[in-house]
Amino acid sequence: ILEGKVALVTGSTSGIGLAIARAFAAEGASLMINGFGDTQEIERVKSELGAVHDGADMSDPAAIERMMRRCADELGGPDILVNNAGIQHVAPIDSFPPEKWDAIIAINLSAVFHTTRHALPAMKAKGWGRVINTASAHSLVASPNKSAYVAAKHGVAGFTKTAALEVAREGVTVNCISPGYVWTTLVENQIPDTMKARGLTREQVMNDVLLAAQPTKQFVTPEQVAALAVFLCRDEAASITGTNISMDGGWTAA
């Protein structure tokens, strides 16, 4: 269903972004992937998906602009923009490193503004476009020790609504997907910090902290998030805009 469409997925060298890139490729989209990682592994993903890779650092607005220009020049897109790159840091506010705050706001929030502002003119000109932001259950509710992340994700949800209103008559939809805990390296990497911050064992963090919030007691899978992203690209999803769609095993229902 995505033949002839160009998709750019930020942070797609692992986790949710990679699953979204794979799902789009399976539907026939041309892809630009982005993100850090082992060069050989990135080469493998590029050839698997027939994708172009741009290593732009999402904390650098000039690098984002170069990536967006390259996507336009080399692929003629994006028709579909997925703002997915994100990082996390877990610490109480009074010992939260200011440089981590700045990095999280830059990568998880400001990058969404920068990619979107560069992508919208061509989408409007074509009369078709999809912007899909990976927000989080933390765009709706908070958890202690995640001040920057929660602030950034609430920001993404607000930005999504504003952008959707601005392009509502142009054939462009803007939505966010808000997963609960998805089993990726981002979640795995925050286990040691949460163990330290709360004085817990690994098992306690997994069961009493992470899945404590998720009534299904199951991690969301990257493939489930990707399937929703594909649905949002369908013509049948043309009236879904400005929404924040939860996929959190019931977390935010509680």
For ligand NAD, the binding residues (CB under 6 A) are 11-17, 34-37, 57-59, 84-87, 107-108, 134, 136, 179, 181-182, 184-187
Q: Residues 24, 101, 149, 181: which is the catalytic one?
A: 149
Shortest gap between Cβ of 3 and ligand NAD (angstroms)? Answer: 25
DSSP state of 55: -
Residue type, 43: E
Query: Alpha carbon 170 to chain centroid distance?
Result: 23
Nearer to ligand NAD among residue 170 and residue 193 (C-beta): 193
Residue 6 exposed, middle or buried by CB count within 10 Å (0-12, 13-18, 19+)? buried
Nearer to ligand NAD among residue 59 and residue 145 (C-beta): 59
Nearby residues of 119 by Cβ (< 8 Å), 6 or more positions away: 8, 68, 78, 81, 129, 131
Structure-block tokens of residue 91: 């610490």
- Render the burial of 47-58: b for 16+ CB within 10 Å, e for the rest: eebebbbbebbb
Q: For residues 213 and 199, what is the distance between their CA atoms, to the nearest angstrom?
A: 18
What are the percentages of helix, strand and coil residues in the chain, rounded to 5? 55, 15, 30
Nearer to ligand NAD among residue 30 and residue 246 (C-beta): 246
Q: For residues 57 and 110, what is the distance between their CA atoms, to the nearest angstrom?
A: 12
Q: For residues 174 and 163, what is the distance between their CA atoms, to the nearest angstrom?
A: 7
Nearer to ligand NAD among residue 10 and residue 30 (C-beta): 10
Is 149 annotated in the active site? yes
Nearer to ligand NAD among residue 116 and residue 134 (C-beta): 134
Instruction: Provide the annotated active-site residues.
Output: 149
